[in-house]
Amino acid sequence: MYLIISLGNFARCFFMELKMKKSNHIFVYCLSFFIPMLIVMIAYGTLGIYFGGNNTLLIFDLKEQLLPIYAYLNKFGPGFDSLFYSMSGATGNFYGTVAYYYSLFDIAYCFVDLKHLPDAIYCVTLIKISYVVCSCLCF
């Protein structure tokens, strides 16, 4: 969390001068998207977490709570109960889970095998962090 906030402050300070020039406007947003992605990829790489690697981001709550939810979203298609109603839970109501856990980026999990779901979570996490830093430039 602190990494995201510090990357947002970095983007705001570093790219503010470049943002003033209208000709570099798109270039600045691209830089503010890809530089944090590269920094986070290097940070994860030092921990041995990379795309297709043996170590994954699946620890603590991500492994126990989110992975089953993302695996449920992965079953979208024939035999899928509903996005808002599931008989696999105790009550069947899935509204709270959808409101709390899902984002627009999580739609990508519908198109990935369960075998490759940890790699998809890695990629979507990188995209989410980069998107947050890039959106800091708007304010």
Tens digits of residue pLDDT in 83-102: 666 656 555 666 777 777 77
pLDDT at site 2: 52
Cα–Cα dist 136/139, whole Å: 6
Q: How many CA atoms lie within 13 A of 23 on its CB side?
A: 0
Residue span of the structural domain in which 14 resides: 2-51+129-136
97 and 65 share one domain: yes
Query: Between these two residues, 51 and 18, which has the higher pLDDT value?
Result: 51
Looking at the domain assignment, is residue 109 inside a domain?
A: yes
Give the residue-averaged pLDDT of 10-15: 62
Is 30 within 8 Å of 13 (Cβ atoms)? no
Give the residue-averaged pLDDT of 59-78: 74
65 and 112 share one domain: yes
pLDDT at site 10: 64
Q: Name the token pair of 13.
A: 């300070």
Exposed/middle/buried for 32, CB within 10 Å: 0-12, 13-18, 19+? buried
Give the residue-averaged pLDDT of 49-71: 82
Question: Taking the alpha carbons of 86, 115, 46, 43 in that order, is the dihedral positive or negative?
Answer: negative
Give the residue-averaged pLDDT of 101-123: 85
